[in-house]
Amino acid sequence: MRQTPASAVLALLVNTSAHAQELQHVLADKADRFPRLNFTSPAPLIFHSTFGLLQQWPNTFFQNGHTIAACTLEKNTNLYHARGDSSFPPSPEWFGLDAEMSYFIAGAMPDSHLLTYRTTKDVKCLYFDGTSASLMDDGSMDAQMLLLHNNSANVPDRPAFGPPPRHDNGGRHFCGHDDRDANCTHWNPLQAEYDRASGLCDFIAEKKLGGPGWGYEGVVRMNAAFELIWCNFSSPSARLVSWLNVSAPLLDGVESDRRPWEAEMLEDGNAEPGPPTAPPRRGAPSGGGGTRWPGRDHPFQAYSVYEWFHAAAKRYGFVGGFPGRGEARISIDSGGLFTFYDPSLEHQASARAQLETELYNLTAAGYWPSPADPIERQSALAHLTRRRRAQRAVNVSAVDGLYMRAEVEDRMRAALGTASDGCSGVDWLLTIQEIVTSYGGDLYDLSNLLSENLSLADGEQLRSRLARSREVVHGRWIPFYEYPQYTDDRLETSFAPSARESQAALERCRTQYQPCDMDELSASEQTTYAAVAEVLGAICGTLLPVLLSIEQLWLANFNNASAPPPEATSPVYKELELTLSNNKRAVEELMAWLGWADQWTACTPGCDLGQVCYIPIWPVMGMGRGRGGPPGKGRGYGYPPRRPGGMNAMHDYLSEPTCVDAEHYPPS
């Protein structure tokens, strides 16, 4: 896709000779062979959101979840619940799928208990993507709140988590998130979380979609790792296999720290907090008001922060130069996905398109006019690639909300096998993951190989670069492209995009994952496949002209191993350089449209053994004190480290992550 006039771009690269002027028109025509990409289309957004389901790395890059899906927790899966007392868990409560997660949240206490359960059968659950267990006001919980409250206008304006509210009623009091109670005497920082958990479990029960021992029994979400809201701890679907007191001897001679939120109150100049004078509200943290939270006197509290992060990163994160496997103990029913990018959510869709048109200076058709300045262009491409990070589901109207609720309920019911309109059986997650695996790395390689920064005096360098580019792009066309019969004087015609062989290859590439029987697709699958088809159309439509132009250049000028490369001042050399530039720009714009930033970001150089690649993941992105770092690094539960720029500075790690181990976590 090219919006800047090709002649203006070419004028920067060639002289004004008569031949160069003629060449400009030829190459401008070739540049226009690339497809024009609509950056307001929901297709790449639906595609990449689906790709990231149950994966930590992409969901941390793009924390605002847009997908709700039915899923299955596998039989014989261990689940962990830690408590700060010896009481039986209330319902609903939380399971961690990693013991390290549960231990950090409630296990490192003076009276700690770790309960291990094991599923006795496959269990249906509801999954929200993104960092949907991140208690931040950044869009992570939009999907949950919309399902509970039907539309954006009904979602209460209150924080997901934070310091206690202030009341001018003669003194400071601990209160829940309901500010209307002016006489409250106990504050539960997780009250909104328990309200959400109860609301989601109530939704399941009210719609007759599940209960103890049947149907949907939990809700899967992610922060640093994956967790499970378990609706009923008396359900026979999860059996208690051990209950251990995991309390560790405290270190003598050290004054215990305050609770994290008490320290925040003092730091903000609030009144000295006192102990709660009333019983905890429903869902109060285990242990009630008399239980002391651990501080420097607990031997494992600081290290347990890293253990949680490390356990999640090595299973789900970016290790050894490749994204982790994702949460393999849970499987998604990909035939019944609901996405907030669904064009049927008309108000949400139009509001997003309008906002992005303004933010990125798009045309009315969604096309992106590339800035002429190279630095400005690269900055704009980076913002376009990560545009999904700022997208929120906050424009769901009442009509949209009714559609959303009905569709989610229908798809949950279909996944139970009680509806007649079942899915085709295609594993759409696997399909999309195969596409990303096939093209993600090669697109990155091509964007680097198709460099215009070539030495004008080094023809061998150009030959080598063109050969490597030819190898990479050819590898993607092996299943689709059949070389035509050609002669030297008909190279351009034989390798034109309109040639019979080219069009046949394009069709094979675009339909490489088209189901054999389209009539079997459910409504949800039709939306998913439409996104797959548009994404493949953009990828194949961009890479085909790259393949054909490189083949023309190679066969015309480099296919004789004994012939010298063209002179640096020859018209052929200029054509080579300009063709590579056109191809590079097209590949860069395709990458920005796809938005696979998580696939093109890694720790460079790679991490050593014993290290993992760090990106900020709530709530372990800035908690605790790395043993090798200075004290006072963390501000407490869920807050970023003290460093210039605050939360925005933490986002820098999304662009340039770093390797960490226990001695250097969190990074300074």
**pLDDT, tens digit (0-9, with 9 covering 90-100), for 169-209:** 444 444 544 444 445 555 677 888 999 999 999 999 999 99
Q: What is the predicted pLDDT for the residue at 317?
A: 63
Residues 512 and 651 in one domain: no
The tokens describing 498, both together, are 């309109």
Rounded to an integer, what distance in angstroms lies between the CA atom of residue 177 and that of residue 282? 12
Res. 453 pLDDT band, cuts 50 70 90: low
Q: Are the CB atoms for 222 and 130 separated by under 8 Å?
A: yes
Nearest CA-CA partner of 221 in 333, 131, 105: 131
Provide the residue type at 306 as one letter. Answer: Y
pLDDT single digits (tens) 232-244: 999 999 999 999 9
Domain boundary among 564, 580, 600: 600
Please state the rounded mean pLDDT for residues 64-69.
94
Is position 241 within any domain?
A: no
Q: Are the CB atoms for 71 and 133 separated by under 8 Å?
A: no
Rounded to an integer, what distance in angstroms lies between the CA atom of residue 391 and that of residue 150? 19
Give the count of domains, the chain.
Answer: 2
Residues 429 and 521 in one domain: yes
Q: What is the predicted pLDDT for the residue at 288?
A: 34
Res. 8 pLDDT band, cuts 50 70 90: very low
Percentage above 70 pLDDT, the chain: 76
Q: Which residues pair with 338 in a beta bridge?
A: 68
pLDDT single digits (tens) 340-382: 999 999 999 999 999 999 999 999 999 999 999 999 999 999 9
Q: What is the mean pLDDT of the chain?
A: 81
Alpha helix (H) residue ranges in 565-611: 571-594
Res. 497 pLDDT band, cuts 50 70 90: very high
Residues 506 and 484 in one domain: yes
Residues 594 and 640 in one domain: no
Domain boundary among 561, 577, 600: 600
Rounded to an integer, what distance in angstroms lies between the CA atom of residue 535 and that of residue 522? 20
Residue 480 above 90 pLDDT?
yes
Can you spell out the DSSP letters for 407-470?
A: HHHHHHHHHTT-SS-------HHHHHHHHHHHHHHHHHHHHHHS-S---TT-HHHHHHHHHHHH
Residues 477 and 616 in one domain: no
pLDDT single digits (tens) 553-595: 999 988 888 887 777 677 777 788 788 889 999 999 999 999 9
Residues 624 and 490 in one domain: no
Residue 268 above 60 pLDDT?
no
Is position 405 within any domain?
A: no
In this structure, what DSSP letter does residue 356 have?
H
Q: What is the predicted pLDDT for the residue at 160?
A: 62
Percentage above 90 pLDDT, the chain: 53
Q: Which residues pair with 562 in a beta bridge?
A: none
Judging by DSSP bridges, how do beta strands 330-332 and 67-73 pair with one another?
antiparallel
Cα atoms found within 13 Å of the Cα of residue 242, Cβ hemisphere only: 9
The tokens describing 156, both together, are 């209460």
Residues 541 and 510 in one domain: yes
Residues 520 and 659 in one domain: no
Neighbours of 447 (CB within 10 A): 18
- CB pairs under 8 A, 24+ apart, for 350-356? 351/395, 352/40, 352/391, 352/395, 353/40, 356/39, 356/40, 356/387
- Residue 638 region, left (φ>0) first, then alpha (ψ -120 to 50), else beta? left
Which residues, 6+ apart, have CB-to-CB distance to 322 below 8 Å?
none
Is position 488 within any domain?
A: yes
* Helix or strand holding residue 96 (H, E): strand 93-96
Domain that holds residue 444: 6-47+423-600
Residues 519 and 634 in one domain: no
CB-count burial class (<10 Å; 0-12, 13-18, 19+) for 514: exposed
Res. 256 pLDDT band, cuts 50 70 90: low
Q: What is the predicted pLDDT for the residue at 22?
A: 42
Is position 499 within any domain?
A: yes
Q: Cα-Cα-Cα-Cα dihedral of 591, 444, 550, 547, to 10°?
A: -60
Domain boundary among 600, 620, 650: 600
Q: Which residues pair with 222 in a beta bridge?
A: 226
Q: What is the predicted pLDDT for the residue at 295?
A: 61
Q: What is the predicted pLDDT for the residue at 303?
A: 81
Residue 650 above 80 pLDDT?
no
